[in-house]
Amino acid sequence: MMDDDIHRTDDGRVRMRSGRSAIVHTAGAAAETAPVAVMHYGTPHTGRHPAVIAQLAEELGVRLIAVTRPGFAGTDRHLGRSVADAAAEVVEVLEGLELRGEAAPREVVTVGYSGGGPHALAFASLLPDRVREVGVFGCPAPYDGSVEWFAGMAGNGGGLRPAAEGRVSREAHQSSAEFDPESFTAADLAALDGRWAGIGEDAQAAFALGSDMGEIDDDLAFVAPWGFDLDRITARVSLFQAEDDRIIPSHHAVRLKRLLPGAEARFLKGSGHVAILDALPEWMRAAVARLS
């Protein structure tokens, strides 16, 4: 990439080669030589780092980078994007920052939570010579066209079922979509009231900033071909799954494990879709330690 291919604007956005704008969020260590963790947050999200993750990064001397996916928090929509398309924009931003001397390390760690999970895997597939560690938490598996794929999902699968029927059906669903309060376990509710309150706050902020199109496009991307080859991932992959997850049920981690036989899968009892993030700090400490 040439230095002129990525441009910062006055409002903190970055203009991509495609002409669309993206928002880059950084936190943690400021040193250019610090290890880099690229974060892929869930659906919906703003891209801002929750305080608990930013504080962990400072503690570990890690620089956090997140790129808001198209259509979220007022960013430009990328109609028809695949999982790989969104991950490729993160690659473009990372390379552009490096050319400006803002993020120098060759090897990186990447984290994907919920809807960010497929994007973290795509990022690792697109940069197999650089991504050394992948941690995904509550990640959906590639859609196989079966009814069983939706089994156990609260709210009858939310927007994923209509997404499987096509864009028109998914967009029509958005106007009447309601959050199913049964989506969260007791552990999730405790997490949202405590350590992981920032996750819920960020979801609300994303909606306030206009993220309907991002949410629609994420769902459409999840039930379409993801656009990358899982076999190209050379990184160490860790799959974290709550046995009681009601949003992404545990059979999705079982499916992912079959597709990623070298991955380590950890199933946590008494957890949930948000509470699973309690496993993130310990994993990140170990992953960063393995980089050094």
pLDDT band at 99 (very low <50, low <70, confident <90, very high): low
Q: What percent of the chain has pLDDT over 90?
A: 83
Strand 13-15 and strand 264-268: the pairing is unpaired
Domains located in the chain, CATH noted: 3-291 (3.40.50.1820)
Neighbours of 236 (CB within 10 A): 18
For the chain, the average pLDDT equals 92
**Model confidence at 105: pLDDT above 60:** no
Mean pLDDT of all residues in 188-201: 98
- Pairing of the two strands 131-137 and 108-113: parallel
In a 13 Å sphere around the CA of 274, the CA atoms on its Cβ side amount to: 23
Mention every residue, 6+ apart, whose C-beta is less than 8 A from residue 139: 112, 114, 117, 118, 120, 121, 239, 241, 248, 252, 253, 256
What average pLDDT does this structure show over 103-128?
92
CB atoms within 10 A of CB 45: 27
Q: Please, which pLDDT band fits residue 32 given cuts at 50, 70 and 90?
A: confident
